[in-house]
Chain A
Amino acid sequence: MELSNYKNIFVFVEQRDREIQNVSYELVGKARELAEKNNEQVVAVLLGYQMDAQLETLIHYGADRVLYASNSELDQYQTEPYAQTFTQIVKSYKPAVVLIGATTIGRDLAPRLSARIKTGLTADCTSLEMSDEGDLLMTRPAFGGNLMATIMCKEHRPQMSTVRPGVMIKGEKDKSRTGVIEPVEIQFDPSKFKVKLLETVKEAKKLVDITKAKVLVSGGRGVGTTEGFEQLYALADTLGAEVSSSRAMVDAGVIPHDRQVGQTGKTVRPDLYFAMGISGAVQHVAGMEESDYIIAINKDPDAPIFQTADLGIVGDVNKIVPVLNEALKKERAKRSE
C-alpha cells in the first residue's frame, strides 16, 4: 500500500430525517484542526436524499469540500447501501483519515467498512492528534475507563476512528467560508440489500439531551430514591439545569437511561456539574471529567469523586439540596427586585 497516495481528512456526515446531526459538525471542527497540521483538506461526505439545502452549512463549519451522494436508497440509514457507497468513495478518493460519529449509526457502519476495506478502526476516541508524518494518534479509554490507550494505524489507510457525540467541540460557524460541493454517482449492487426496514418508531417519552445542558445536577446512590431525585429536579428548575445520574440510579429504575452520564451513558461537558451523592467510579468520571467546574457533595470524605471535583463538600446530600434550593431562590428574588 502506497501510503502517500492517501490524503485529506474525511468526515462521515450523519443525517437523520434529512437533518445533519450535531456530532458531524463537531467532527468537521476536529478535522479542520487535524487538516491544518499537514496542509490537508477537510472533506465532508453526506449520504442522503433531497438535502441540497444543507450542504453549505458543512462548509460554514469548516469543510473545504462536500461530497454528496444523493439517492432514495440513502434516505434513511441502512447498513449495506451506506457501506457500498462509502467503500466506493474511499476507493476513488483515497482519504488519509475517516472520522465517524460513535452513534448507533456510526457504530454499525464503521466496523462493516473497516472489514470491507481491510483497514484499522479505533472506537470511541476521546483525543485525536496528527503527527508530522501524517499518522493519527487515537486515544481512547479501555477497561471501563480505567486505562487510556493511544492507538496508531501506521501501515494501512484510511485511518478510521469513531468519536462519541459531545467529545469534540464544533468550530464557529462562518458564513463567509467557501468550498466545493461535488455530487457523487454511486453504482449499487442491490442483490446484497437483504435487510428490509419495516418501520421506524420514535418513542413517545420526552427525550432530554443532557449533552446540551450548561448546568447538570447529577444524582447517584447517595440520593437513592425517587423522592431524593424530586429534590434534584426542583434544584435544577431553579438553576435552569437538567438532571442527570450515575449508572446505579438507572439500574435501580429511578431515572431513565437517556439521563445517564458515563462510559455506558453519555459524555457531558457542562459549565457546571453537580455530583450529588455520586461516589465517582471511573466509568462515571469518564463521562463528566471534562466539565468546566465540578461541585461534589458526598458523605464519604474518601469518595473518589473528590479527586475529580473542584469543590468538595462532605455532607448529606439529601439535607443540603433543599436548603441550597431555597437559598438560590432567595438570591434570584433579590436580583429581580
Chain B
Amino acid sequence: MKIIVCIKQVPDTTEIRLNPETGTMIREGVPSIMNPDDKSGLEVALSLKDQWGAHVTVLTMGPPQADDMLREAYAMGVDKAIHLTDRKFAGADTLATSQAIAGAIKQLKYDLIITGRQAIDGDTAQVGPQIAELLDIPQVTYVEQIVKDDNQFTIKKKNEAGYQMLQVSSPCLITVLSSANEPRYMTVSGILNAYKKEVEVWGFDQINVVEEHLGLKGSPTRVVKSFTKGAKAMAQMHEVDTDKAVEIIVEKLKEKFII
C-alpha cells in the first residue's frame, strides 16, 4: 500500500499576539509547527503502516524552512519526503495550491492520500477536497477512523450530530481530524537519522502543470485588503468587592430586562 500524506508548516497561531498600539500582528518569535490536523493525518498513515505495511511519503508545499518539518516527519517514521518549492507557486490561493500538489501527486503511485482537515493559519479546509477533485478520486472529510479491508477502506466520518460509517475503494483521499489520535513522538534514532535522509526538492519542472494554473496567476481569489479588527472601547471597569460586584451586575441585568 502506498500512502501520501500532505502536510503544512504553519505559525502556531495560539502564540500570535497583537501589538496593542498599532493593532498589527507580532510575528517575531512565533514558532513554526507541523499543522496539528496534518500531524494526526500522518499518524493515521504510520498506524496503517504498522498494521498492514505501507510506504509512506510526505509532501509539502512551502518555503525552504519547511525542510525542518519534513525532517520531523522522517523522525516519526516516514519513508520519503518531497518538498515542493518554486517561486512560480508563490501567492497561491487554495485552488492554485491544490493544482501544484495534485500535479506532484500525479507523478507518484498511491492507494490513499491523507490530508489534515484544515490548517490553523487559514482554517479553510479546502485544499484536501480540491486535490481529490483534481485527481478525480473520491474524498471523505472529517475522518476520525479508517480501517483497511482488502482494497477498500471502512471509514468513520464525524458530523455535527454524530458520525457516519462509509466504505470507499482505493484510491481515495481522506481529511483527518486532530481528535483521530495522539500523534507519536519522534524516536531518538529517527531524530539522529532524519538529517541524513534525502528530502527530494521539486519545482515547477517536476510537475506537469501549466504556469497559468499556479501561484498568484492561477488563483481566482485575491486578498484585496487585510486589517486587524479596530479596537473596541474598553469595558466599563469595576474593581470592587464581591457584594458590590454582584450589585452592579444585577442592576445592569435589570436595565437590560434580563431579569
Question: Which single member of B25, B95, B248 contacts A121 (CB below 8 Å)?
Answer: B95
Task: Note all chain A residues with C-beta closer than 8 A to B166.
Answer: 195-198
Task: Tell me if B124 is interfacial: C-beta within 8 Å of chain A.
Answer: yes
Task: Note all chain A residues with C-beta closer than 8 A to B210.
Answer: none
Give CA–CA (A328, B154) in the complex, Å. 52
Question: Which single member of A110, A146, A148, A195 contacts B13 (CB below 8 Å)?
Answer: A146
* Contact bitstring A102-142, B, C-beta under 8 A = 1, else 0: 01110110111011101111111000000000000100011
* Contact bitstring A129-166, B, C-beta under 8 A = 1, else 0: 00000000100011110111111111110000000000
Task: Tell me if A253 is interfacial: C-beta within 8 Å of chain B.
Answer: no
Distance of B249 from chain A, by nearest CB (Å): 6
Q: For chain B residues 211-259, which have a beta carbon within 8 Å of chain A?
A: 219-229, 231-232, 234-243, 245-250, 252-254, 256, 258-259
Give CA–CA (A12, B13) in the complex, Å. 31
A-B contact count (CB 8 A): 240
Instruction: Tell me the A residues contacting B by CB distance below 8 Å.
Output: 16, 79-80, 83, 103-105, 107-108, 110-112, 114-116, 118-124, 137, 141-144, 146-156, 192, 194-203, 207, 215, 239, 263, 271-272, 281-283, 289, 293-297, 301, 306-316, 319-320, 323-324, 327-328, 331-332, 335
Task: Tell me if B60 is interfacial: C-beta within 8 Å of chain A.
Answer: no
Structural contact, A149 and B250, CB atoms closer than 8 A = no
Q: Is the interface of A mostly helix, strand, loop or mixed?
A: mixed
Give CA–CA (A315, B122) in the complex, Å. 36
Task: Note all chain A residues with C-beta closer than 8 A to B154.
Answer: 198
Task: Note all chain B residues with C-beta closer than 8 A to A335.
Answer: 259
Give CA–CA (A197, B225) in the complex, Å. 42
Give CA–CA (A79, B141) in the complex, Å. 10
Give CA–CA (A232, B231) in the complex, Å. 29
Structural contact, A114 and B95, CB atoms closer than 8 A = yes
Question: Which single member of A120, A146, A307 contacts B16 (CB below 8 Å)?
Answer: A146
Residue of B nearest to A301 (CB): B239
* Contact bitstring B9-24, A, C-beta under 8 A = 1, else 0: 0010110101000000
Residues A314 and B168 in contact in the complex (CB < 8 Å), given A120-B93, A144-B120: no
Distance of A139 from chain B, by nearest CB (Å): 8
Interface residues of B, count at CB 8 A: 78
Give CA–CA (A239, B225) in the complex, Å. 42
Structural contact, B246 and A312, CB atoms closer than 8 A = no
Give CA–CA (A288, B42) in the complex, Å. 33
Instruction: Tell me the B residues contacting A by CB distance below 8 Å.
Output: 11, 13-14, 16, 18, 25, 93-95, 98, 120-130, 132-134, 138-142, 154, 158-169, 172, 219-229, 231-232, 234-243, 245-250, 252-254, 256, 258-259
Question: Which single member of A195, A203, A215, A312 contacts B138 (CB below 8 Å)?
Answer: A195
Distance of A6 from chain B, by nearest CB (Å): 13
Task: Note all chain A residues with C-beta closer than 8 A to B94.
Answer: 111, 121
Residues A323 and B235 in contact in the complex (CB < 8 Å), given A104-B160, A111-B125: no
Residue of B nearest to A205 (CB): B162
Task: Note all chain B residues with C-beta closer than 8 A to A194.
Answer: 138, 168-169, 172
Task: Note all chain A residues with C-beta closer than 8 A to B228.
Answer: 146-148
Q: Identify the interface centre among A104, A115, A316: most chain B CB within 10 Å of its CB.
A: A115
Structural contact, A323 and B165, CB atoms closer than 8 A = no
Residues A202 and B162 in contact in the complex (CB < 8 Å), given A118-B95, A150-B223: yes
**18 examples of A-B residue contacts, CB within 8 angstroms:** A115-B133, A118-B95, A120-B221, A124-B123, A143-B13, A144-B123, A148-B228, A149-B223, A149-B226, A195-B166, A197-B166, A198-B166, A282-B16, A282-B18, A293-B252, A307-B235, A311-B235, A313-B249
